[in-house]
Amino acid sequence: MATNSQSRFTKTQHKIMRYLWKKGKSSRSEIGNEIGFDASTISRTLTPLMRKEMIRIVGESPASSKGGRKTHILSFNNSWKHILGISIEQGEVTIVLSNLAGEVLKEDYSVINVHSGNIFDIVEKNFSKYDEDAIAGISIATPGMVSSQYGKIIFSSALGIEDLEFEKHLEEKLGVKVLVMNNANAASACYSMKSTHLVYFIFSIPYKLKRPVGVGAGIMIEGKTYEGFNSYAGEFWRSFSLTDDETLTVKDLNKDISKKLKLKRFVEYFSEVLEIAIDIIDPEIYVIGGDIDLLPEWVGENLISAAYNRIPFQSTRKLKGIVDRNGTLSIAKGAALAFVGKFMGDFNFAKKVFQFLSNKELIKYEEI
């Protein structure tokens, strides 16, 4: 039994898994023709995936007029496991539980002052709220310079973190595959179905409103997130404080405090920042989101139009600005989607996911 739980995950299994996930439904012969393997190899390779209920029989096609067996129709089971997508900002934590189609099953939101001293505790406590056996992985998005390749938060002024081995610590503690990414890159993944060339500007409003508002950019080129050679892409070393009042916090934004906020100057300042980035990147779509939804609606709309009006030759470009009012929900959802995309598109990543899942199964068996 322990040997079965440790069965080897192969590239052929990953190809079948990815094909059915994209295709929706298919027969064994269609799968074989698509990925280039004979029927016996396909059947043998499918067996462990079907035993795990990752691949299911969802129907039959009728036998041909010449007789023979009916053909089984197979489908990838998007409910096989779940992904926990977590957006961590300085003043708030947003969590989504999604299936492997990226569909959100549950949402959770809390206002909390996040910093280097409590970030691991926050992730661990929230992970424990869910059925751990049903979760294939956790994808966490944070502000700052983040290297998904090395699993590190290189620097985040918002969270007071520098050179933190984030993935490794959580994987050892929780026993599940972890992906860490920049929050703007996660948010851009949420819009990848709308365009493969986009830039997502994410605003991070600090817990104490006198502290500077940060902005980062998630850059997607030809459908792939661009982190830069040193993982520094999309970070702006410019910021703006919403108020001079030291007593105001994020919780006060629900009140009528507009007169205490420098909103017009905010729009003017950041429209210039956005214009420079848009002009250099030349995307099809530019989105502003994150904590922009915490401010009055006119702020987002004015920021879109002010940035557009600054762009040279805007009338000759195919360019559209969007205000994303889903706040950090888009970040958490995008983080989950990014995990699913990597799971389906990267064999080595998928192999690590299965290794963690196999270890859990083995431990459970040994405990029994």
pLDDT tens digits along 259-291: 899 999 999 999 999 999 999 999 999 999 988
CB-side exposure of 320: number of CA atoms within 13 Å?
9
| Distance from C-alpha of 256 to C-alpha of 235, rounded to nearest angstrom | 31
Lookup: tokens for 318: 């195919």
Task: Classify 82-186+332-342 by CATH class.
Answer: alpha beta
Which residues are within 8 A (CB) of 65 and not within 5 positions of it... i.e. 6 or more apart?
none
The answer to whether 2-77 and 82-186+332-342 have equal CATH topology is: no
Per-residue confidence (pLDDT) for residue 6, from 0 to 100: 47
| Distance from C-alpha of 124 to C-alpha of 128, rounded to nearest angstrom | 6
Q: What is the dihedral of CA 283, 285, 289, 290, to 10 degrees?
A: -50
Residue positions counted in the chain: 368
Beta strand 161-165 with 152-156 is antiparallel
Of 86-90, 228-232, 361-365, the range with the lowest mean pLDDT is 361-365
CATH number of 2-77: 1.10.10.10
Residue range 31-82, pLDDT digits in tens: 999 999 888 899 899 999 999 999 999 988 765 555 556 788 999 999 999 9
62 neighbors 114 (Cβ within 8 angstroms):
no
Mean of pLDDT values over 160-178: 96
Backbone angles phi, psi at 339, to 5 degrees: -65, -45
**Across the strands, what pairs with 303?**
none
Beta strand 285-290 with 198-204 is parallel
Range with the largest mean pLDDT of 200-204, 237-241, 254-258: 200-204
Per-residue confidence (pLDDT) for residue 133, from 0 to 100: 92
Mean of pLDDT values over 204-211: 88
> What residue segments make up the domains of the chain, in order of their start?
2-77, 82-186+332-342, 188-329
CA Rg, the chain, in Å?
A: 23
Confidence of residue 309 (pLDDT cuts 50, 70, 90): very high
Confidence of residue 334 (pLDDT cuts 50, 70, 90): very high
Q: Evaluate if residue 118 carries a pLDDT over 90.
A: yes
Per-residue confidence (pLDDT) for residue 368, from 0 to 100: 34
Question: What's the CATH number of domain 188-329, 3.40.30.160, 3.20.20.370, 3.30.420.40, 3.30.470.10?
Answer: 3.30.420.40
Of 57-71, 98-112, 142-156, the range with the lowest mean pLDDT is 57-71
Of 159-173, 232-246, 328-342, the range with the lowest mean pLDDT is 232-246
Per-residue confidence (pLDDT) for residue 301, from 0 to 100: 97
Per-residue confidence (pLDDT) for residue 366, from 0 to 100: 43
| Distance from C-alpha of 82 to C-alpha of 207, rounded to nearest angstrom | 31
Name the residue with higher pLDDT: 4 or 77: 77
Confidence of residue 362 (pLDDT cuts 50, 70, 90): low
217 neighbors 247 (Cβ within 8 angstroms):
no
Per-residue confidence (pLDDT) for residue 365, from 0 to 100: 39
Backbone angles phi, psi at 358, to 5 degrees: -65, -40
Angle CA 324–84–297, to nearest 5:
15
Backbone angles phi, psi at 262, to 5 degrees: -95, 65
Beta strand 145-147 with 152-156 is antiparallel
Residue range 234-246, pLDDT digits in tens: 878 778 999 999 9
| Distance from C-alpha of 33 to C-alpha of 53, rounded to nearest angstrom | 23
| Distance from C-alpha of 213 to C-alpha of 21, rounded to nearest angstrom | 40
